[in-house]
Amino acid sequence: MYLDVYIASTEVPGFSWGESPRDNIYFAVEPKAISEILPESYEAFFLRTDKIDEGFYTYKKIDWGTWAAKVSKQQIIDFCKELYGKYFMTPKRGYNAIREKKLKINPYDKSLKGDISLMSSLIATIIGLEEGKDYALLGIES
């Protein structure tokens, strides 16, 4: 089973946080992913789920294995800081924190370079988000 999380835009024709005429009993209109998969996506999926369960985020079920959590740019930054550490938006310190965490888990982990590339992409995506707009943390179970 794969558990993935993406940052998504809610500016999709027919998408609504409430009922939409384009929704049906099988699926709702899905927000469009604007980021690559979040690094450590398994942990991100469960942190996002915990935030929904604790009432920090409202959400919409999209289909049997997809849920969208309503978030702002600041909530995305806070989510990532909780997931990756307080230096998340500080590239060099953030990368070092990921490296240290990965090496403590498995010093032979070959995915480290990929994680740093994903982290660079994630930071660039977040920097490009507009203040005052709603986004979604799109969790997909497949």
What would the DSSP string read from start to end of 47-99?
Answer: HHHHHHHTTSS-EEEEETTEEEEEE-HHHHHHHHHHHH-TTTTSHHHHHHHHH
Rounded alpha-carbon distances, angstroms, from residue 97 to 3, 50, 58, 71, 83:
23, 23, 30, 25, 11
Q: For the chain, which residues make up each domain, given as ranges?
A: 3-141
Quickly state the pLDDT bin for 66 (edges 50, 70, 90). Answer: very high
If you ran DSSP here, which 8-state letter would residue 122 be given?
A: H
Average pLDDT over residues 70-97: 79
Amino acid at 97: A
Per-residue confidence (pLDDT) for residue 103, from 0 to 100: 45
pTM: 0.81
